[in-house]
């Protein structure tokens, strides 16, 4: 019997490698492999495990006659040509269950930080500046939080918010009947009318690209705090800046950017970031919301279970 081989192109927890090996798979673990090297080596592989480094499109799929599945160690499936994979009969899946709590905790931490000016005050104190009134914060208690899309991470965030005495509203275009003790299922219009805080949990698709634009921010009856821990390209960054300057957005927390390859930035992209920084109302982190030690293991465990459950 020929051993089924799986290629892993990014860093994963050893529990995934050990589990697959124990189940009889041949595991080739190459976390430094390039996209070109993946394309040139796909012929023998039964399975492919990726993160965000490699885009699995037509070239890779055509070079993989034995491929049965591609899975993402994480949540976003925009790194796979899903339509072509389906056409080729290749199963695709991800592991959002593994890092949903990490993303939720990070979103909450960033929100509390920006609402209470913690990072700004920290930098001031480090510089010998002691400003109390200028850094007076805002309490989360009593606020209404609107969640845009109600998948794994939004559900985890709703559970974390229970102890903060807040009202949680959620809108999902493709999901209904999810209201429970943690969240109220509502229309997008009701979120526009009531929300003080908005957290986006959208996947990146053709439909969601730049869905968060100035027109979106202009719909809210109150100025809002804005959180994006999903994908940078669901938001038009220039429109966010405009909304901040027009005080439609009080403050924003961004774990993701439209272009996360900073070395490739144009002068316009650099200027836009600098303009956001100068508002002194935006908190950034480098796409690490789901990047915890615990989530690394959980993602491995989720993928291992899903792969072992396959019926090929």
10 Å CB burial of residue 32 (0-12, 13-18, 19+) is exposed
> Rounded distance, CA 146 to CA 67, Å?
41
Task: Extract the tokens encoding 232.
Answer: 């940078």
For residues 118 and 147, is the Cβ–Cβ distance under 8 A?
no
Inter-residue contact 289 to 255 (CB < 8 Å): yes
Round to whole Å and give the CA distance between 132 and 170: 35
Active-site residue, 139 included: no
Q: Which residues contact 288 (CB under 8 A, 6 or more apart)?
A: 106, 255
Is 287 designated active site? Answer: yes
Which tokens is 226 given? 């804005």
Residue among 5, 210, 242, 287 flagged as catalytic: 287
Q: Which of 72, 106, 201, 231 is catalytic?
A: 231
DSSP string, 132-180: SGGG----STT-EEEEES-SHHHHHHHHHGGGGT-EEEEE-TT--S---
**Residues in CB range of 201: below 8 A, 6 or more apart:** 147, 148, 149, 150, 151, 153, 154, 157, 229, 230
d(CA 192, CA 208): 18
Q: Say how far apart CA 305 and CA 299 lie, in whole Å.
A: 10
206 is catalytic: no
| Annotated active-site residue in 185, 260, 269, 301 | 260
Residues acting as catalytic residues = 231, 260, 287
């Amino acid at each position: 019997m020929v051993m089924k081989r799986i290629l892993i192109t990014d860093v994963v927890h050893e529990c995934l490698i050990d589990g697959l090996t124990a189940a009889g798979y041949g595991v080739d673990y190459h976390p430094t492999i390039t996209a070109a090297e993946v394309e040139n080596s796909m012929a023998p592989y039964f399975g492919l495990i990726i993160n965000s480094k490699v885009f699995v499109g037509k070239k890779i799929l055509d070079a993989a006659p034995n491929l049965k599945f591609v899975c993402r160690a994480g949540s976003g499936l925009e790194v796979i040509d899903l339509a072509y994979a389906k056409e080729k009969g290749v199963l695709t899946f991800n592991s959002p269950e593994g890092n949903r709590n990490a993303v939720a905790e990070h979103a909450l931490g960033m929100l509390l930080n920006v609402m209470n000016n913690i990072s700004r005050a920290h930098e001031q104190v480090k510089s010998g500046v002691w400003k109390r009134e200028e850094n007076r914060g805002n309490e989360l208690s009593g606020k209404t939080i609107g969640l845009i899309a109600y998948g794994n991470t939004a559900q985890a965030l709703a559970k974390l918010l229970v102890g903060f005495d807040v009202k949680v509203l959620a809108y999902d275009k493709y999901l209904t009947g999810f209201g429970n003790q943690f969240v109220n299922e509502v229309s997008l219009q009701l979120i526009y009318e009531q929300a003080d805080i908005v957290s986006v949990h959208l996947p990146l698709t053709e439909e969601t690209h730049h869905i968060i634009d100035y027109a979106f921010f202009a719909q809210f009856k109150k100025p809002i705090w804005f959180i994006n821990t999903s994908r940078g390209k669901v938001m038009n960054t220039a429109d966010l800046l405009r909304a901040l300057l027009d005080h439609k957005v009080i403050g924003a927390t961004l774990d993701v950017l439209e272009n996360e390859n900073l070395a490739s930035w144009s002068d316009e992209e650099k200027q836009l970031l600098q303009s956001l920084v100068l508002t002194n109302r935006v908190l950034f982190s480098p796409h690490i919301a789901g990047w915890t030690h615990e989530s690394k293991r959980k993602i491995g465990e989720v993928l291992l279970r899903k792969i072992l459950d396959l019926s090929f």
